[in-house]
Structure formats: C-alpha cells, structure tokens
Amino acid sequence: MIKPTIIVVGNGMVGYKFCEKLVARSADFNIIVFGEEPRHAYDRVHLSEYFNGKSADDLSLSTFSWYQEHDITLHLGDPIQDINRTAKTVHSLSGITFQYDFLVLATGSSAFVPDIPGVEKEGVFVYRTIEDLELMKAYAPKVKTGAVMGGGLLGLEAAKALMDLGVAETHVIEFAPRLMPRQIDSAGSAMLQSKLKELGLSIHLNKSTAYIGGGHKIENLHFTDESVLAIDMLVISAGIRPRDELAKLCGLQTGIRGGIVVNEKMQTSDSCVFAIGECALYEGMIYGLVAPGYEMADIVVNQLTAGSKLFYGYDMSTKLKLIGVDVASFGDAFVTEPDCRTIVFEDTHKGIYKRINISTDGKQLLGGILIGDADAYNMLLQTVNNKIVLPPNPEDLILGARGGAESEGTGVMSLPDDALICSCEAVNKAAICSTVSDLGITTIEGMKKCTKAGTGCGGCVPLVKDLIAGTMKANGQYIKNVICEHFEYSRQELFDLVKIGQIKNYDLVLDHFGKGDGCEVCKPAVASILSSLWNDVIVKQDTIQDSNDRFLANIQKGGTYSVVPRIPGGEITPDKLIVLGQVAKRYRLYTKITGGQRIDLFGAHLNDLPAIWEELIDAGFESGHAYGKALRTVKSCVGSTWCRFGLHDSVSFAIEIEDRYKGIRAPHKIKGGVSGCVRECAEAQAKDFGIIATEKGWNLYVCGNGGSKPQHAQLLATDIDKETLVKYLDRFLMFYIKTAEPLSRTATWLNKMDGGLSYLKNVIVNDSLGLGAQLEEEMQSLVNSYHCEWKEVIEDPALRKRFTHFINAPDEKDPSVQFEPMRDQVKAKW
C-alpha cells in the first residue's frame, strides 16, 4: 500500500503539534514538513524567557532525531513558494517540488506593522521570532530609552524584554484607552497600570502615533495630539496578521482582514487543504493563542484518521504573568449589568483587582477578570466551562471562604468527568482521575508522562495536583501523615498536644496519645518534640533516643564513636588546636576536618567517651551536637576582618548565630552559613539558613541543603539589619521546629508547604498568622535553657556509668573493635 502524503507548511508550535498528534495516532502517512525559519519548532509562548537566560535550545520543542525516529522529512529554512492545487503539488524556495494528497497550512502569523511613516528607520523592530529577539539584543546596548507600540499581551511581553535587555527607560504606547483591551476592563487596566509603573514602565494610553521621527535612525515618536516622545528604539507589537499569502496566491478563500477561511473540519475552500493555528479564520475569528491552535491540529488529525471531531470555536480565557503581575481573564469578562450581576474586589494597596460576572439568577458564573492574584483562575474557569451551580455566597469565589469550613461543591472533585483540565493537551478530569486510580500514578511527574497533562503552558499543574490528591483521598489512598503505628497524629498535632498537656516524658505521651509500646520511629520523634519544648538534658531519657543521641556521639563502623566538639563559625585558637591534637593522640583517634569547618575525632571506644569529653570541656570546648537532629555548624568565610572583598564581619556574626541556636533540637539537622560578600565563600545558599552581607545590611536565605537532593536556599528578606535578621531567624526556626514532619529538612518542609515561599515569607516577615511574638518567645526560652550535654554527663556519676560496653565488666572495652594503620593514622577493621 502506498501511504498518502501529507505536506505540512509551517513548523511553528501548531505545525509541530499536528505532526506529534498524527504520528501518535497513525503510521499510515508519509509526512513532509517545510519550515521558513532555520530552526525547528520552538515555544513561542515563552519567548521573552530568551532574555532571562533561556537559550534557543531551551525553548525548542523537539529535536532532529525526533523527526528521524518518526520518519518525518523536515525541510528547514526552505519556505514554500507556491501551491498548485490542480496538480496537488507544492514548490519550495530551494526548488523542490512535491506532490501531496493532503496539505496542512500552519503558516501562523506575522507581526502587524501599521502603516506609519518612518517604520523603515533603523531602531524599529517587531517582536515575533527568535531572530527578531536576536536583532533586538544586538541593538539594545546602545539604547537608553525604548518604547513598545501596543499595550496588548504581546506588547507588554515585549516591554518586559526591553527591561530584561537593560534598557533604562521603557515606554508602552497604546491606542486604546486601556491596557490589554481584549482581555481586561478599565478598572483592571488601571490596577495593572499602577503595578507596572511601580516596576518602572511608563504607560501612555489614548495615543495614536502620527509618524516616526529622525533621520536614518529613529529619534522620536510624534503623536496625533502633537506631543512628542524622544526614544532610540521602538518595538512594534500592534497585533498579528495571519500569514495567508500562499493561500491567496493559489486561490483559496481568505477573509477581508486576512486569514484562511476554514469550516468546522478545518478544511479550506479546497477539501484537500486544511489550515490550522493563527493563519486560520473560523467564523470570522482568528484564534491568536496556542491552545485553540492545538485543538485545530487535533481536529485535522481526527479527520484524516476517519474521526468525526469538529471545531466549534474555543474558549479564549487566558492567565499569564506579565512582568511579575498575574493577569487573567476568563469566560465573558465584559458582560455588564443589567445582563448580569458583577462582583468587584479591589485592594489598591496590594494591587489586586478581581471581578466576576454572575448570571442574574445568581446560579452561574459567566466570566471575570483577575489582576495581581490569579490563584483562583483555574477553578473559576472550570466553574464557567462546566456551568457549575454557584454556592449561595458567590463572592467567596474571589474572597475565599471566610470563617467556617470550606464550602462544599466548589472543590475540584465536584467537576464533571469531561471537564477539560489541560487545554493544551486536551486532557479531561476523568483521564487524570483514572490514571491515579487504575495506574497508581500519584505524582505530577508521573502524570505528565502518562497523560501529557501540564506539559504545555503548565497553567493547569496546580489543578492536576489537586485532582491527584482528591482522587487518592476518594479512593481511601490518602494516608494522613501519622508518625507511626503507635500514634495516629502528625508530628505537628502531637507537638501541640504535648505542649498543651505539659507532658515531659515519653511513657506519659504514649499513655495519653498513643498505643502499644512505641518503636524506633516514634521514640526519637517524641524525644525531639520533648526536647524542642522543654529542653531537658536528653540523656535523662536515654532509651528513647536514637543511639547517637543516647551516647552523645556518632556511631561508626565497628561500633566505635566519633567526637565533634563545637568550633563556632570555624574559628579556633592555636591552644585549642593543640588540645585536640593531644586528646586524639592519647586516645588513638583518627582526625579529619569536616565539611562544616570542624574537627572530627574518630574511633573512640564507648568507654572512653566521658574521659575524652572531660579533657575537651576542661579546655573550653562544648558538645558540637554532630550526633543530634539539631544545629550543626554555622559556616563562615573570613569576612571583612581579613578579606579585601568582605563587606561585614561574617565570622563574628556566624559565631553569634551558632552560639544562639546551639543545642536546640529540631525535626532534622540544621546547618547555617554566613558570607561576608556576594562571592559567597561560605556557601550559605546551600544551608538551611544562609546569611550574605550586602552594602546595606544582610540578605537572609532559607531552606537550602546539600546532600542527595541539593537545593538552593531562597531569599526571604533583603538588606536587613542584624537585629531584624535574628528576629526572622527565631521565627523561621521555631516555625520549622513546630510544624515539620519527623526527619524532614527545611527544604523538604518548604517543598511540601501549601503556598511555598510566599506563604513562608508572609508568616515570617509579614507575621500573617500573628505568631511572630510567640515564636520569638519560644525560641528565646530554648536559647535561655541551653546546656552542654556532655558537661552534664561528666559531672553526673550515674549518667557517666552508662558509657560502658559490658555492664558486667565496666573496664573492659569491646574486644571486637580493632584497628589497622592507614596513612600514619588508624582506621576501623571489621
């Protein structure tokens, strides 16, 4: 059988998606693709990220090998010149002629350049392709003042691009009386405008450009109101123009204002020629977004493979982040009273504007606009699209339920099965839920692999996550994060119960809130809670401690222990170094510098630990808590005292911080770092908290870690003084100690936190829970009750006695421990 040949003209996002969908459905076609651009299909939606450091490769949607694997012939940089519909052939620039059975036009659109005198001048650009961006990039360094013509979605993206390129002063010129006239109303525009002004953009509305002034190069813009704006660069983003010239040339029907006319099967006036994406004109409308383009691609694939799916228009709701400001519009955003009831919420201080339009009977959501905070977008859009009956207080939709339980019936699980969740990949709710139930997929990564949901624009990811959690819960799969079989509580719940009950020992906690006899999971978890609450000497309840905490040292291969005294900030005197050397020699300990700027002494017999510590404490050392889920070290660089780059004294600050938090027990170990300047020699951004000196003070980063899953710490506060920093750190650490799950580092804790960093920032910096003072007080009481655990042990004969290997032969050391020589030291032999 000879396979029918399909020629695709255009290798943009929609043309590529068509190929992807077709090869997924059928191998019965011979596919040939012609692209005008020199590169293969790339993500045009995220074009402005090209200036944020993303490369053309990052934006690329595919690779050459993908085309090879699927037997698709790809001709790049070779635009089709004409189409002979009678002979069913296409002819390319390089002179190739091919015969087709079906032709798919995915020629997209070009930037619409209005007919203004002077557009040919040097310094005038359009914003459409990677090549356009490269031209802009090359030109921008010479530019002080730039302007974008067009205050629509793309225009604002282009303005962001200019800011990213370092143009000092950027203007946006819009003909209409508001920004984004197709998406948002005047009040929303005003809010957006004030947000953008704060970010340094100058916005000019109601401006019609008469001509572009200057000689060879652009110098200024002259407006019809006779005002003039001096600029040295102009980016035109005044809309798109469908690429329909090929279609016109071969006599296909096109619209008066451009666009290739198609029917609901995406067929043009020639039934063997289809048009999809931004070049297609359906019922007088061009769909200038990627999701409807993908839908059109799907329709054609469906038609070619004997399906009967038809196109009935497409929802043009959008949500995007414009220069850091959320903007969304959905459903019928512009319907006004008396045809609807409109509810508006405005917070000029925070720059939030929300509007929802509700049917006059109050039952249905018709559409709306969100500026500044678009978290509710997905749910609102689903409510419109699925005609979900509104709750009695529809204002809750934008204000959030106030008081009482969250109202029923508005959660994700109440959506109908056919609710479209991922519009880019056309995945509905039923598909996601059955992937969870039938295939056991419970992660977003797994869901992306199985269904492709969330792989397009990514906007539906929060909704997909909620659906996964909701389905698991409905299946009874959802397991509450209980500590273990003995406690039906999360760590946080147990923490509060123990605190309220003022309970200070493990057996009582188990009697009150648990069952059975405990285990190796709940014992150390409760030990940590007791310690964080009451800060008693932990060895008084030694048998609920993990063996490291039980013997206040780290158990090593062979059953020996290592000893790590505290060396705050990594600063140590020569005298103390000598003592460490003497102790190591006396007890034949292997010595090594640790990653946290301390000295580790390995190979100590259990029996020797108290004597070793007695000598160390006499020399002024303290326990380093290397064995505990507690503060380990605060690493420092040498800072302004010695370093010629140092801005502040990082060593002193590190010592101060380490001394403040030493000994405090937490759900997991805590590490810190203080760097004296942005060169960051202390690697503070790899720590649970990192402090970096700035010209004006200190920056505080939180929730980083090294280890098996390295994660950089994130910026919590900028340019703060020491006092404020300690205050934030008190709150942060105490909040972590009280709410994290057992053995969860700060990074994991943050990753699981609803609302992530912005929530954490609100709690710590803005004190949104009103807990600030309490957290500081609780931390202060832990700081005040600090004690060196080893000092307590060596001074108490009963505690000291516990450090023996054989209780029936206390002086005898474990005979199974043996050493062998290694590089002038010893190592354990076992």
Partner 1 sequence: METIITTAIDWVLACYADDVPANGGACVKLRNEQIAVYNFARRGEWYATQNLCPHKQQMVLSRGMIGSAGETCEPKVACPFHKNTFSLLSGQCLTNEELSIKTFPVMVDNGKVYIGFA
3-state secondary structure of 510: helix
Tell me the closest approach of the beta carbon of residue 516 to partner 1, in angstroms. 5
When the beta carbons of 608 and 658 are compared against partner 1, the nearer one is 608
Contact 397, 356 (CB under 8 A): yes
Interface pick for partner 1 out of 71, 418, 777, 812 (rule CB under 8 A): 812
The DSSP bridge partners found for residue 82 are: 91
Q: What DSSP line would sit under 649-705, residue for residue?
A: -HHHHHHHHHHHHTT-B-SS-EEEEEESSTT-TT-GGGSSEEEEE-SSSEEEEES-B
Among the listed residues 260, 274, 263, 265, the one whose alpha carbon sits nearest the alpha carbon of residue 302: 265
The nearer residue to partner 1, 784 or 816, going by C-beta atoms, is: 816
Give whichever of 791 and 802 is closer to partner 1, judged by the CB atom. 802
Residue type at 100?
Y
Query: Which pair of structure tokens corresponds to residue 369?
Result: 């606009």
State the minimum distance, in angstroms, from the CB of residue 742 to partner 1. Answer: 13
Q: Is 466 exposed, middle or buried (0-12, 13-18, 19+ CB in 10 A)?
A: middle
Dist CA 657 CA 642 (whole Å): 20
Contact between 429 and partner 1 by CB under 8 A: the answer reads no
Q: Please, what is the minimum distance in Å from the beta carbon of residue 559 to partner 1?
A: 5
21 is a site residue for partner 1 (CB under 8 A): no
**Which of positions 199-238 make contact with partner 1 (CB under 8 A)?**
none
Residue 818 found at the interface with partner 1 (CB under 8 A): no
Pick the closer one to partner 1 by CB: 128 or 486: 486
* CA proximity to 658, closest of 527, 783, 791: 783
Q: Kindly state the tokens that stand for 428.
A: 């509905």
Residue corresponding to tokens 């990594």: 570
In the complex, the smallest distance separating the C-beta of residue 605 from partner 1, rounded to whole angstroms, is: 12
Q: How far apart are CA 318 and CA 335, in angstroms?
A: 17
Classify the C-alpha dihedral 269-275-279-285 as positive or negative. Answer: positive
The least distance separating partner 1 from the CB of residue 804, rounded to whole angstroms, comes to: 8
589 burial type by CB count under 10 A (0-12 exposed, 13-18 middle, 19+ buried): buried
User: Exactly one of 551, 602, 627, 698 binds partner 1 (CB under 8 A); which one?
Assistant: 551
Structure tokens at 129: 């392709």
Can you spell out the DSSP letters for 471-531?
Answer: HHHHTT------SBTTB-S-HHHHHHHHHHHT--SHHHHHHHHB-TT--TTHHHHHHHHHH
Name the residue nearer to partner 1 (CB basis): 516 or 706. Answer: 516
Half-sphere exposure of 242 (CA within 13 A, CB side): 29
Indicate the residue among 131 and 485 with the shorter CB distance to partner 1: 485
Instruction: Map the footprint of partner 1 across residues 481-500, applying CB under 8 A.
Output: 485-486
The secondary element (H helix, E strand) that includes residue 467 is helix 461-474
Closer residue to partner 1 (CB): 615 or 792: 792
Contact flag: residue 523 with partner 1 (CB under 8 A)? yes
Q: Label the pairing between strands 30-34 and 5-9.
A: parallel
Among the listed ranges 16-24, 79-87, 146-154, 548-556, the one in contact with partner 1 (CB under 8 A) is 548-556
Of 20-28, 45-53, 224-232, 541-549: span binding partner 1 (CB under 8 A): 541-549
Q: Is 559 in the site for partner 1 (CB under 8 A)?
A: yes
Tell the smallest beta-carbon distance from residue 816 to partner 1 (Å). 5
Binding span for partner 1 by CB under 8 A among 301-309, 392-400, 542-550, 755-763? 542-550
117 binds partner 1 (CB under 8 A): no
Q: Binding string, 435-474, against partner 1, x = CB under 8 A?
A: ----------------------------------------
Q: Whole-angstrom distance between the N-terminal and C-terminal Cα of the chain?
A: 71
Among 308, 338, 816, 820, binds partner 1 (CB under 8 A): 816
| Number of residues in contact with partner 1 under rule CB under 8 A | 34
CA atoms within 13 A on the CB side of 383: 26
Q: Is 546 in the site for partner 1 (CB under 8 A)?
A: yes
Give the residue, chosen from 316, 814, 819, 827, that forms a contact with partner 1 under the rule CB under 8 A.
814
Q: Which stretch binds partner 1 (CB under 8 A): 135-143, 551-559, 596-604, 657-665?
A: 551-559
Positions in 751-810 near partner 1 (CB under 8 A):
802, 805-809
State which of residues 120, 445, 517, 824 lies at the interface with partner 1 (CB under 8 A): 517
Measured from the CB of residue 548, what is the shortest distance to partner 1 in angstroms? 8
For position 255 contacting partner 1 by CB under 8 A, the verdict is no
- Quote the CA–CA distance of 636 and 571 in Å, as a whole number: 9
Instruction: Give DSSP secondary structure letters for 700-742.
Output: EEES-B-SSS-B--EEEEEEE-HHHHHHHHHHHHHHHHHHSPT
Tokens of 745: 């580092």
Is 829 among the residues that bind partner 1 (CB under 8 A)? no
By CB under 8 A, residue 516 contacts partner 1: yes
Task: Decide if residue 555 touches partner 1 (CB under 8 A).
Answer: yes
- What is the smallest separation between the CB atom of 628 and partner 1, expressed in angstroms? 14
708 CB contacts (<8 Å, ≥6 apart)? none
Residue whose CB is less far from partner 1, 387 or 557: 557
Which residue(s) pair with 563 in the sheet? 601
Q: Is 543 in the site for partner 1 (CB under 8 A)?
A: yes
Neighbours of 501 (CB within 10 A): 12
Can you give the binding site for partner 1, defined by CB under 8 A?
485-486, 507, 516-520, 522-524, 542-548, 550-551, 555, 557-559, 802, 805-809, 812, 814, 816, 830
